[in-house]
Amino acid sequence: MSSTNSTNVSSFSEKMGQIEDSATLSVMGTIKGLIAQGVDIINLTAGEPDFSPPQCVNDAAIKAIQDGMGRYTPSAGLLELRETVAEVIGNEIGISYEAKNIVVSNGGKISIVQALMAILDDGDEVLIPFPSWTSYPEMVKLAGGVPVMVSCDENMLPDLDALESACTERTVAILLNTPSNPTGVVFSEDFTRQLGEWCLAKGLRVISDEMYCSLTYNGAKHYSPLVVVPELQKTSAWIGGMSKSFAMTGWRMGYFAGPADWAAIVARIQSQLTGSPNSISQYASIAGLKNGTAERETMRLEFEKRSRLITVGIANIEGISCPEPQGAFYCFVDISRLIGCTDASGITINNGDDFARLLLEVDKIATIGGSAFGGQNHFRLSFAAPEKELERALAKLSSRVSTLLTSGKNSAQTC
Ligand SMILES: Cc1ncc(COP(=O)(O)O)c(C=O)c1O
């Protein structure tokens, strides 16, 4: 007799066998679980601000619920929200869009996947400079494409020569991300121009993920490739959202902006997938975009302070290094000098993942190993955590690195 509970593993699709879990979300989930059980862990895994959304966001959501606005909306999102998003992109980024160019979705993640689904045929290739956000290659695969991972240069910037070599006749698009998760790098205007002009010359569609555009620090300015090389706007997409800028990760609000024909296909895909975006979050987002920018700036200033604290703290630890983050809220720390070291913990450091494991198991500091982002000798540290926690983590990090270097030398290793 067959049991309805038994699962025939071979019946799952081959395509889904190629898709990885989100490495960051699974580590974050595990750590949140341990903390909930009372384990004292300094949590530097967060891909989300440790702030509350602006008060106007909460108020608008409560009002929308009380007014009975929890119904389906148009597939592409409420007209008022799309108009507001277009206005904000015009004022803050410098691209002129109308509502017909905007599709609001349940988070930037699905905005990117739908943008890819709209342009990729099976086997089409998408360039992804790495280190990069862990989800990009999986998103391309989900949309039927082939992710082509291209190593960045020593400054963690997309490498034009390497991109040129990776381009084939199947290459249709490139995924760009500034400010970057995981490196905190922000493209300069000159670099953005070189890169944008190269994309234009190659006839590539750019999907420009600018999710962290409002979070830049210490004088760094955000440049969109679609503004620096405006010709790209005809064929390229701009991705943004409420998660990072307005501390609204769980509200799930992202947006696609692009040519009207591309937006129409994205809206069609969405009409068959999620139907329409969360209505209450849409009303809340209108309020946030219109009236929440002062609180957004307060949060940015706090992140700026922390970025300095972390940069100075790491610069003072001999044996590890990271470029000063100019945006987002991450440091991508290079631990190459520790490769081969073992201390009393018994964990040998062969890569950044080993180091992240050592930090978690012994020092109770949670970070994310670099392999999730394509950085073998790195780990990602999020400074979306209170200053006191960051200071505590820096002190522990410093003594761990020093112990590793000393132990390594004692056992005649070159640490
Ligand atoms: C670079 C980047 N893009 C897009 C997203 C998607 O954000 P969300 O789906 O929360 O809007 C994230 C989230 O971590 C991200 O880091």
Q: How does DSSP assign 216-249, residue by residue?
A: B-TT-----HHHHSGGGGGT-EEEEESTTTTT-G
Distance CA 55, CA 318 (A): 43
Best of 105, 181, 207, 252 for a ligand 1 pocket test (most atoms within 8 Å of beta carbon): 181
- pLDDT score, position 17: 84
User: 316 C-alpha vs ligand 1 centroid, how far in Å?
Assistant: 31
* Nearest in space to 248 (alpha carbons), one of 49, 59, 61: 49
- pLDDT score, position 255: 98
Give the number of the atom of ligand 1 that is nearest the alpha carbon of residue 48. 14
Q: Per the structure block, which two tokens stand in for 266?
A: 């994205």
User: 362 C-alpha vs ligand 1 centroid, how far in Å?
Assistant: 30
- pLDDT score, position 2: 44
pLDDT along the chain (415 residues), means of 10: 52 84 78 85 92 98 98 97 98 98 98 98 97 96 97 96 98 98 97 98 98 97 98 98 98 98 98 97 98 97 96 96 95 96 91 94 94 95 96 97 82 54
Q: Per the structure block, which two tokens stand in for 142?
A: 């989900």
- pLDDT score, position 122: 95
Contacts from 3-6 at CB under 8 Å and sequence distance 24+? none
List the domain boundaries for the chain.
16-51+295-401, 55-292
Give the number of the atom of ligand 1 that is nearest the alpha carbon of residue 112. 4
Distance CA 355, CA 335 (A): 8
Best of 104, 114, 133, 187 for a ligand 1 pocket test (most atoms within 8 Å of beta carbon): 133
Residue 90: DSSP 8-state = I
Q: Per the structure block, which two tokens stand in for 199?
A: 């994309």
- pLDDT score, position 411: 52
Q: What is the CATH number of domain 16-51+295-401?
A: 3.90.1150.10
* Nearest in space to 46 (alpha carbons), one of 297, 390, 331, 385: 385
- pLDDT score, position 253: 98
Distance CA 203, CA 126 (A): 13
- pLDDT score, position 415: 60
The residue whose CA has the least distance to atom 1 of ligand 1 is 181
User: Side chain identity at 205, as an amino acid letter?
Assistant: R
216 pocket-lining for ligand 1 (C-beta < 6 Å): no
Distance CA 46, CA 32 (A): 10
- pLDDT score, position 33: 83
**55-292 CATH fold:** Aspartate Aminotransferase; domain 2 (3.40.640)
Instruction: Provide the 3-class DSSP secondary structure of residue 171.
Output: strand
241 pocket-lining for ligand 1 (C-beta < 6 Å): yes
